[in-house]
Amino acid sequence: MTTQIIIEGFNISKNYDSFKALDNINFFVKEGEIVGFLGPNGAGKTTLIKLITCTSFKTSGKLKVFGLDTEKDQKKIKALIGLVPQDNNFDPDFTVYENLLVFSRYFGIKRDEAEKRIQNLLNFVGLQNKRDEKVTDLSGGMKRKLIIARSLINDPELIILDEPTTGLDPQARRKIWEMIEDLKKNGKTIILTTHYMEEAEKLCDRIYIMDAGKIITWGNPKELIIKHIGTETIEIYNCEDVKLNEIKGKKIFFKDRIYIHTDNKKEALEMLTDICENIKFTVRPTNLEDLFIYLTGKELKE
């Protein structure tokens, strides 16, 4: 079975005046996968989404979405995409139902068909009881669910979620994750941006790690960790007298901590307790945040 490539980008750059928002990036998205773009604010994630959704245009490079040109076939491309933007840009004057109905018209969906879809979507996101409430009365989590429902009104092939869970509490976040996984099971292709490494690790088949308009590395989250730094991390809190050079593994000095990344936890721990008595540390699996710090010397979240 051959999977189709849905998006291909070659050497894409995007400049705003002299600022390089995207600097010569290459990427692709295959049918049915969840691809994450991970990076701090200002990394270029949202700019990239704008290029894919034809709401902004590249300075140079080649970008094909569904094999179509983003500058010539905007309407065709946009008809196949569902976008969950960073801001909950609803119409505040309308109810939940009206918001979805008004949006369905932009896709030229007939009223009868729209009614059916809205009912199904409200069931899918669990807002069937909020149908006639004003959107301004919804909680943060419900607003996000409604935006997801709205992005599905045109039954899109590709769903793009720009920071879908930023600012949500853990419970609401988990609910959104379940929805994203359901969408994948239904065969949808999904792109998401996030600065939560946990989110990317849990959901994504592949991730692109971005910083300052560049793609630093890409691949399967677990494979990236193994490839670059090792699966176990020892995080050391007090460390003045630790003779670290003797310990095998990758050592990162970041803020007031030291991180040792290794594939051989046992050996590293033995040496660590040998050379230092009063040491305070925790041992945990390496995550994408560690990888990001290792690759850029910066934190993902500000």
Return residues touching other proteins (CB under 8 A): 16, 53, 55-57, 74-75, 78-79, 81, 83, 85, 87, 89-94, 98, 102-103, 105-108, 154
Strand-pair partners of 257: 254
In the sheet with 250-254, reading across from the earlier edge strand, the strands are 250-254, 257-262, 232-238, 280-285
The tokens for 85 are: 């933007």
Q: 26 or 56, CB closer to other proteins?
A: 56
Q: 79 or 239, CB closer to other proteins?
A: 79
Q: 95 or 231, CB closer to other proteins?
A: 95
Instruction: Write b or e for each residue in 267-289: b if 16 or more Cβ atoms lie within 10 A of its Cβ, otherwise e.
Output: ebbebbeeebeeeebeeeebebb
Q: 75 or 266, CB closer to other proteins?
A: 75
- Among the listed residues 14, 74, 17, the one whose alpha carbon sits nearest the alpha carbon of residue 48: 14
Task: Supply the minimum distance, in Å, between the C-beta of residue 38 and other proteins.
Answer: 22
Task: Supply the minimum distance, in Å, between the C-beta of residue 194 and other proteins.
Answer: 19
Task: Supply the minimum distance, in Å, between the C-beta of residue 107 and other proteins.
Answer: 6
Task: Supply the minimum distance, in Å, between the C-beta of residue 97 and other proteins.
Answer: 12
Q: 154 or 165, CB closer to other proteins?
A: 154
User: Pairing relation of β-strands 214-219 and 206-211?
Assistant: antiparallel
Q: 14 or 206, CB closer to other proteins?
A: 14
Helix (H) or strand (E) holding 289: helix 288-296
Task: Supply the minimum distance, in Å, between the C-beta of residue 15 and other proteins.
Answer: 10
Task: Supply the minimum distance, in Å, between the C-beta of residue 89 and other proteins.
Answer: 4
Tell me how far CA of residue 65 lies from CA of 12, 79, 107, 133, 135, in angstroms: 13, 12, 18, 36, 32
Q: 106 or 237, CB closer to other proteins?
A: 106
Strand-pair partners of 106: none
Distance CA 134, CA 70 (A): 35
Distance CA 231, CA 65 (A): 35
Task: Supply the minimum distance, in Å, between the C-beta of residue 47 and other proteins.
Answer: 10
**Contact at 8 Å (CB) between 189 and 157?**
yes
